[in-house]
Amino acid sequence: MDWLSPSDFLAIPFNDWVNAFVKGWLVPNFRPFFRAIQWPVVQVLDGLDYVLNAVPMLLFTAILTTVAWRAAGRGVGIFTLASLFFIDLIGLWSETMTTLAMVVTAVLFCVIIGVPLGVAAARSDLFEKIQRPILDVMQTIPSFVYLVPIVMLFGVGMVPGIIATIIFALPPIVRLTNLGIRSVRADLTEAATSFGATSWQALVEVQFPLAIRTIMAGLNQTLMLALSMAVIVALIGGGGLGLTVFTGLGRLDVGNATAGGVGIVLLAIILDRISQAVGERKAVHTTSLAATLKSFFAPATRSEAGANHERAAPKGL
């Protein structure tokens, strides 16, 4: 005997509902709005892409190597130099620059959107409560799922790709901004207020500088997530290294796919090391990254961890 299941009696046309919502309501009513949103992204991306592709390879390599060296030490500097040469030698320079432009654009918008959201969440418990499930969904929903509505709303190409990347990479910076500001010792904020600081002054003078290390950890995660979208974005018309991998995949051209993949990995390592190092430097007198991440996974003890950070931090620059 067959077991009964509810679907024998009732079928919910969930997919139809979503279709009706997106196609019947969202797209026709909000298309101009979504098109307008694209505008700033287009400007930044075009500008960056133009600049990065116009700068001679050697000059760019020299600049990035210097930055890596100054920020993260000689090792990372040498690694950056070697990697960029390697990328150029395997013929992927311009793809790499395109991917870099995309990633930087996406991260820039993540910061512009995410930091204020994080600050707002830190200041209002209600806002945090509302925001948390939304961020959870953004982080867990497979990015393929929202590629379709994004294409419907924004069309195909680089910019929709970047918008998908922004959605995917936004949560860590919001969360860690929130966490960073919340774990600033309450008596320090109180001290600022007691000297007549407005809430903006307290944010700028005390909370933000003390939270910067945590925020930079969030930025680092956001950056990595954005890079990890490079290939997926190629599905909806994004260019760069992702496209190289994607076409390699389509043609079973393992050589090209691997070359693209290696390019992404090298870029990821360089950006990761530099952004981490910048975060550490910025926060010599605040919290350690390890402690921050630990407290991230143990929310109950985070204020305690926050209080202990200062002690553990290394001394002056």
Partner 1 sequence: MTSKIICSSVSKIFGTEPEQALALLRQGLDKDKIHSETGQVVGVENVNFEVSDGEIFVVMGLSGSGKSTLVRMINGLIKPSSGRILIDDIDIASCSEEELLSLRRNKVSMVFQHFALFPHKTVAENVAFGLKIKGVQAAERRERAHAVLEQVGLANRADSYPEELSGGMQQRVGLARGLAADPEILLMDEPFGALDPLIRRDMQAELLELQRSLKKTIVFITHDLNEALILGNRIAIMRNGRFVQVGSAEEIVGSPANDYVAAFTADIDRSRVFRAKSIAVEPQAIEAGAQVDDAARRMEDLELDALYVTDGDKVAGILTYRSAIEACRCGTKIVREVASHRFPAASPDAYLNDLYPMARMGLPIALRDAHGRLTGVVPPQAVFDKLAGAA
Residue among 43, 124, 198, 301 that touches partner 1 (CB under 8 A): 198
Stretch that binds partner 1, among 48-56, 182-190, 252-260, 290-298 (CB under 8 A): 182-190
Q: Which is nearer to partner 1, 125 or 187 (CB)?
A: 187
- Would you say the C-alpha torsion 182, 183, 186, 190 has a positive or negative sign? negative
Q: How far is the CB of 207 from partner 1 (least distance, A)?
A: 10
Q: How far is the CB of 298 from partner 1 (least distance, A)?
A: 22
Task: Give the whole-angstrom CA distance, residue 239 versus residue 235.
Answer: 9
For the record, the structure tokens of 190 come out as 């109180």
Residues 258-297 that bind partner 1 (CB under 8 A): 285-286
Number of chain residues interacting with partner 1 (CB under 8 A): 24
Q: How far is the CB of 294 from partner 1 (least distance, A)?
A: 19
Angle between helices 158-182 and 27-54 (to 10 degrees): 90
| Dihedral-angle region of residue 102 (phi above 0 means left; psi in -120 to 50 means alpha; beta otherwise) | alpha
Q: Which is nearer to partner 1, 74 or 315 (CB)?
A: 315
Determine the longest span between alpha carbons in the chain, in angstroms.
78
Residue among 23, 30, 39, 187 that touches partner 1 (CB under 8 A): 187
Q: Which is nearer to partner 1, 74 or 311 (CB)?
A: 311
Task: Give the whole-angstrom CA distance, residue 268 versus residue 226.
Answer: 10
Residues 206-225 that bind partner 1 (CB under 8 A): 206, 209-210
The torsion defined by the Cα of 37, 39, 45 and 50, in degrees rounded to 10, comes to 180
Q: How far is the CB of 204 from partner 1 (least distance, A)?
A: 11
Q: How far is the CB of 212 from partner 1 (least distance, A)?
A: 9
Q: How far is the CB of 126 from partner 1 (least distance, A)?
A: 15
Helix H, strand E, coil C: the string for 58-90 is: HHHHHHHHHHHHHHHCHHHHHHHHHHHHHHHHC
* Chain Cα centroid distance, residue 219: 6
Q: Does 311 bind partner 1 (CB under 8 A)?
A: yes
Applying CB under 8 A, which residues contact partner 1?
185, 187-188, 190-198, 201, 205-206, 209-210, 285-286, 310-311, 313, 315-316
